[in-house]
Amino acid sequence: MKTILLLGCILLQISADAICDRKTLLAELQQDMEDNGHLDCLRLIPAPHGKETSDQINKRLAAQWDSDCSFEAVDGWWKSFRFKDDKDLKLTLFSVDHAAVESDSDLEADMCEFIRALYFSGNLGI
């Protein structure tokens, strides 16, 4: 979890007036990881079948990506990233199960999918 939070710090060196500020992103990442140990990036997490404790309910609801960081970008947003030196970044999207996927999910926050893709693609050097 510390690696994911560190990743959020590295990626977002932006001011608080941005659509997704650093503090909010870090909170979203932490809440998502605390829920079940995975970045599932879901905007809406349905209640599981069976009973939940009040702590489990609170963690599940907090883990839902419902802040300014939960935006949905245009389709294909991940296909053409560039570094400052114009070097292309080959970005592969990954599911919560670490499997490469062909497209992003409309059910998941794109900012979270981006972080997960950078992490599992090995583009961070962490």
Summarised one tens digit per residue, pLDDT across range 19-76 is 788 899 999 999 999 999 999 999 999 999 989 999 999 999 999 999 999 988 877 7
Count of the separate structural domains present in the chain: 1
- Whether 126 maps to a domain, the answer reads no
Helix segments in the chain, DSSP class H: 2-11, 22-36, 54-63, 110-121
- Report which of residues 1 and 88 the model is more confident about: 88
5 phi, psi to nearest 5 deg: -65, -40
CA triple 92-96-66, angle to 5 deg: 100
- 11/18 Cα distance (integer angstroms): 13
- Whether 51 maps to a domain, the answer reads yes
Pairing of strands 100-101, 93-94: antiparallel
Q: Domain residues for 12?
A: 2-121
- Whether 14 maps to a domain, the answer reads yes
- 100/44 Cα distance (integer angstroms): 22
CA triple 123-124-126, angle to 5 deg: 130
- Whether 97 maps to a domain, the answer reads yes
- Whether 91 maps to a domain, the answer reads yes
